[in-house]
Structure 1
Amino acid sequence: MAAALASSRCCCRPSLLPTGRGRRSVARCALSGEKRNSFSWKECALSVALSVGLITSPPTFGWSAHASPLEPVLPDISVLISGPPIKDPGALLRYALPIDNKAIREVQKPLEDITDSLKVAGVRALDSVERNARQASRALSNGRSLILDGLAESKRANGEELLDKLAVGLEELQRIVEDRNRNAVAPKQKELLNYVGTVEEDMVDGFPYEVPEEYSSMPLLKGRATVDMKVKIKDNPNVEDCVFRIVLDGYNAPVTSGNFIDLVERKFYDGMEIQRADGFVVQTGDPEGPAEGFIDPSTGKSRTIPLEVMVDGDKAPTYGETLEELGRYKAQTKLPFNAFGTMAMAREEFDDNSASSQVFWLLKESELTPSNANILDGRYAVFGYVTENEDYLADLKVGDVIESIQVVSGLDNLVNPSYKIVG
């Protein structure tokens, strides 16, 4: 299947996705093996028994090639049968916002459901899309006042304008369905969900919690930021230079996102090669020399950050321990490893708080590893998603070069930026 994507910022030519994208057995880390901070498999066992539940034997991670598996973990069976996981990065980011407004969610859900409606072949899908559009339109009409009440006061005028555009767009969507123009549905859906997402962002009034004192002086992203990562493809006749857009979520991972943005502003990743690309993850961030992470020139010491995981329903992230170590086997992570291109921090196997600069993007099909019933959620800090050109991550190879990572928006949400410190 051709994987050409429409993007004004990407020069990727149509190409076949490599078979490694769907591969479940994973090779060792493509690094030399001298770096303990590499994100490599030791063992993975996954068995599914639908009649009695699903038991996962999670692997351990590190650079060693052999280790004993951990004890089996029995996840909450309700998680496994609640429906297919949300894989769209935009939807994951919308649902991850720290808001509690039922009215806007009732508009959002049927618009999100259009994705599943379009899986039906031919124009028959339009019957479901029509129901989705009517449901969203009705929810907007009935809940408009509650939505406006949920907006931050300073953003109310912008919210009203967006709701007006949303109402007009929903009428346009219904006309698209009446004209039986299936090809026009997805672009209109994306437009409408962008309106919804912006309204939801306008409901967040300030940062919702205090970061623990021991981490409060670190670079923190108190909100969201967007970066563009431009990669120079060295040896792939199917792909030229490509720009990956990444949204970083500081609401759910302020320390992890702040650390990354701070390094981006230091140009730490510019000119760095892709150091692992094996069909399971794409990884980079290991600097030249003996150091396994970022050495702060102002202190001469390595900067590490704690493991940071936000659980759905919690008011603030947990720090320093995996959810498994905390015994929270039923906990749902706010930023799950669902989307192709989920971005997270690599760390040493036996040290939860050893992450520094090495990052990875997960390449996977999440039906085989349901959200919060897999080997990654709650063990590694997710802090963003690739939202444009993510499929082309599968075409990257070891040795391809990150030409630059640039902050597109949200830099004003970064506090305690260490890159501004002289020396």
Structure 2
Amino acid sequence: MASMMMLGTMPALSQRARSCAGSAAVNKRASAATSRKHILVSRCLKGDVESDGGKSNAKQRAASTALAIALATLEIATPVVPLLTPPPAQAVLSAPNANIPRSVDAALRRSIPVVNQDTKAIQDKMEDTAFLLRIPQRKPYGNMTVNTEKALAILQENRDALIATCPEVDRATAIEIVDTLEKQLGKLVISIETRDPDRVGFRVADVLKSLSALEMLQAPGLPYSLPAQYADLPKLTGRATVEFDIQKAGGSTGEFVSKLGGGGSKSARVQLVLDGYSAPLTAGHFAQLVQERYYDGAKVLNGESSLYVGGEQSTTKKTPASKLPLPLELMPADSFEPQYRLPLDVGGGEYPVLPLSLYGSAAMVHGDSFDSDPSKFFFYLFDKSQSGLGGLSFDEGNFAVFGYVTEGKEILSQIRNGDVIQSARIVSGADKLIAGSRTLPDELLDEA
């Protein structure tokens, strides 16, 4: 990309160079003319201008003096073109993915629907503070302080409205979160004064985590209606968490090593957060498969940069949900609701709310059609060194992402072909799952 930028600036620099060369030629001619005028002025002042056989009189000397003054005046009035020097090259770096979240926490946080504008204003201030913190060397701590103090003022001035936005049944929890936020923002102000970027980073992360919890209380369901043709499919109207217990394949000598240490183990646990806000049908379909125990006992199949689960090569099970249709579902970042059966034009600036280009993203498989496979999903082991322009996966915008691994990410790279999912279960958010009412044809129902 850097080489492309340099090539892009070359034509402009060449034009400036030609301008400089032309200016130098003009200056050279002006200098020569000035030298000739200096000679004439000198001769005039010495009375070397000859007339009538070289004899000078008072009139001639007066004329010579006048001519010298005129030449000197002409020299002053003659413009000299200043030598143009090319300014430093200014490479404008274009970030086509500037609005794409670059972490799992940011992706999940930004996918929550905006219900209360004051909460959003506080989040914007904290997002900006997190961005400023990434500036190397001389960090703008003054701007961070301004952001934090404004966020604290918004919280204190609109405390009652922030709580009232939540359903009545959740308001006691909302009060606790708002109290926590007020304390966290106060601590963040103090941390910024210490100029310790690590401490500030931890404080900002705490505030953003609490804000996410408050926003989820404020958005208890979907703020949009699903298309009528999909209304009878399973759907997830919020967030849910699935835990996978994974076992090393029989006869394998390998072990899982968690980040907590304590030696290796033949089993490990991975936690996946499902996002029904941006992918209600895909997340709901997956949650329904988990409820039907479809993935229990399934083998994990290793791909080049993915871990595949489901389908005939992975399990012999068949359940009702594994036979239901599942349209490709993607929500563009600037859209209010998902779009169906159409990939995103990432090259044209259309980016998903839930990007694939994050390590540990989970998406449904699909073939040549624009329908997702109803039973196969994969964990994507995103590697930025193998990404395309802008640090995005070449497959960005083509697969229906429905969640992210939030705990046990280090386990993913240790999973080998044939390792087994002992069990998959929903540990929170099961109440957000609405089972579909669509019935299968008799022949498919018998197979399931």
The two structures have a TM-score, normalised by structure 1, of 0.68
Q: Which moved more, 1:390-399 or 1:281-290?
A: 281-290
How far did residue 134 of structure 1 move? 4.0
Of Structure 1 and Structure 2, the greater helix share is in 2
The residue aligned with 1:355 is 373
CA distance in 2, matches of 1:313, 1:111: 21
Residue 307 of structure 2 corresponds to 282
Deviation at 1:213, TM superposition (A): 2.4
SS at match of 2:245: strand
**Residue 225 of structure 1: SS of its match in structure 2?**
strand
2:423 matched to which residue of 1?
404
2:326 aligned with 1:305: yes
Q: C-alpha distance in 2, partners of 1:126/1:395?
A: 40
- Which one is further off, 97-106 or 196-205? 97-106
2:415 maps to 1:393:
no
SS in 1 for 2:222: coil
Structure-2 separation of matches of 1:105 and 1:174: 20
The whole-number CA distance in structure 1 between the counterparts of 2:431 and 2:133 is 38
Shift of 1:261: 0.7
Deviation, 1:248, is 0.6
Please tell me the residue identity of whatever aligns with 2:373: A
2-side partners of 1:396 and 1:177: how far apart? Answer: 41
1:152 deviates by 4.5
CA offsets 1:323-377 (integer angstroms, 9 cap, x no match): 34xx9933221211232111111111x1111411111122224584467965323
Q: List aligned pairs for 1:32-111, cutoff 5 A.
A: 49-50=4-5, 80-81=95-96, 83=98, 85-111=100-126
Compute the displacement of 1:129 (Å): 6.4
- The CA deviation string for residues 54-75 of structure 1, in whole angstroms up to 9 with x for no partner, is xxxxxxxxxxxxxxxxxxxxxx
Contact 2:278–2:330 (CA under 8 A) maintained in structure 1 = yes
Query: Take 1:408 and 1:202, find their aligned partners in 2: how far apart are those partners?
Result: 18
Letter paired with 2:281: V
Instruction: Please report the RMSD computed on the Cα atoms of aligned residues, expressed in angstroms.
Output: 4.0
Over residues 32-76 of structure 1, what are the superposed CA-to-partner deviations in whole Å (9 max), with x where a residue is unaligned?
A: xxxxxxxxxxxxxx99844799xxxxxxxxxxxxxxxxxxxxxxx
SS at match of 1:195: helix
CA contact (8 A) 1:277 1:396 kept: no
CA positional deviation for 1:163: 1.4
Q: Which residue of 2 aligns with 1:338?
A: 357
User: Secondary structure at the residue paired with 1:242?
Assistant: strand
Between the aligned partners of 1:290 and 1:271, the Cα distance in structure 2 is 7
Distance 1:306 1:271 in 2: 26
Q: Report the CA distance shift for 1:171/1:306 in structure 2 as closer, same or farther (over 3 A).
A: same
- The answer to which of 174-183 and 403-412 deviates more is 174-183
In structure 2, distance between residues paired with 1:358 and 1:140: 44
Displacement of 1:222: 1.7
Alignment partner of 1:222 out of 217, 224, 237? 237
Residues 336 and 371 in structure 1, CA contact (< 8 A), matched pair in contact too: no
Corresponding residue of 2:382: 364
What amino acid is the match of 1:221?
A: L
Residues of 2 paired with 1:387 and 1:114: CA distance?
Answer: 23
Residues in 1 aligned to 2:383 and 2:153: alpha-carbon distance in whole angstroms: 34
Displacement of 1:286? 2.4
Is 1:254 the counterpart of 2:280? The answer is: yes
**Partner Cα separation in structure 2 for residue 321 and residue 262 of structure 1:** 24
**Mapped partners of 2:193, 2:268: distance in 1:** 37
- Give, in angstroms, the shift of residue 96 of structure 1: 0.7
SS at match of 1:357: strand
When residues 323 and 79 of structure 1 are mapped into structure 2, their CA distance, relative to the original with a 3 A threshold, is: farther
Q: Distance in 1 between matches of 2:439 and 2:176?
A: 38
Relative contact order, higher structure (CA 8 A, sep 6+): 1
Counterpart in the other structure of 2:394: 375
In 1: Cα distance, 2:4 partner to 2:315 partner: 46
Cα distance in 2, alignment partners of residues 78 and 151 from structure 1: 42
Count of paired positions: 347
Q: Is the 8 A contact 1:97 1:200 kept in 2?
A: yes
Larger-gyration structure (1/2): 2
Counterpart in the other structure of 2:297 = 271
| Alignment partner of 1:245 is 2:263 | no
| SS across alignment from 2:155 | helix
Unaligned runs of 5+ in 1: 1-45, 54-76
SS in 2 for 1:355: strand
Report the TM-score when normalising by structure 2. 0.65
Q: Is the 8 A contact 1:123 1:180 kept in 2?
A: no
Equivalent-residue separation in structure 2 for 1:116 and 1:184 (angstroms): 15
Tell which deviates more after alignment, 131-140 or 90-99. Answer: 131-140
Cα deviation 1:205-236 (Å, max 9, x = unaligned):
53222222222222211221111112224543
**Structure 2 stretches of 5 or more lacking a match?**
9-91, 258-264
